[in-house]
Amino acid sequence: MAHTPAFWTDDKGMPHLTAPVEIPVPLMLLPNQQLEVSWPVPTGSIIKTDSKWGHELIAGPFLEGQQLVGHGEPGIGKHPETFDSAAQRYNFTGYVPPVSEEHGAESWNGMVAQFGEPWLPFDHCRDAASKAYYGRPESPFYVAVVGVAVFFWLISRNRN
């Protein structure tokens, strides 16, 4: 299915969706099932990989015939690249489509808003994708760091 969504380009040259996108039937995954993902992936989807660290990306719109993805990587930070370029480094195993066309646009725009942010010591690529898709970071690493911080905060409060 070839569908070009309406978008505007910001001063960094990144497209932001201004109109809903067509969402094809979602790819259904079974637990531990390995599937090859090919484009087009619906804009705003979380793309899953078989990375041992659980790398995730956000699918973007097409720009000059290439589908974009956005994600965070150590040393690079949060950035866009083409689907084909990312597929050379990551084995895509499936995706979670957006719940609506509007959610797809919001998810991609949430990823675009993070572009240019540096990789910080406690960052995890799943945090960038989940922040864009769900509106908050949700990697297991993030949850563990927050949990440990709350635990020590509670202990310090009980000592006083």
Task: Count up the domains in the chain and report the number.
Answer: 1
Question: Span 33-60, mean pLDDT?
Answer: 79
Beta bridge partners of 94: 48
What is the pLDDT at residue 86? 92
Helix (H) or strand (E) holding 49: strand 46-49
Domain contains 129? yes
- The residue with greater pLDDT, 30 or 102, is 102
pLDDT in tens, 76-110: 999 999 999 999 989 988 899 999 989 999 999 99
- Counting residues of the chain whose pLDDT is more than 90, the rounded percentage is 36
Domain contains 35? yes
Question: Span 4-25, mean pLDDT?
Answer: 52
Global pTM? 0.67
Across all residues in the chain, what is the average pLDDT?
76
Domain contains 11? yes
Cα torsion through 110, 111, 114, 116, rounded to 10: -150
Q: How is 69-121 classified by DSSP, letter by letter?
A: EEEEETTTEEEEEEHHHHHTTS-EEEEE--SSHHHHHHHHHHHHTTTTPPPPT
Residue 29 has pLDDT above 60, yes or no: no
Q: Which domain holds residue 80?
A: 7-159
Domain contains 1? no
CB 70 within 8 A of CB 108: yes
Beta bridge partners of 47: 57, 95
pLDDT in tens, 52-71: 777 899 999 999 889 999 99
Domain contains 2? no
Domain contains 63? yes
Question: Span 34-45, mean pLDDT?
Answer: 72
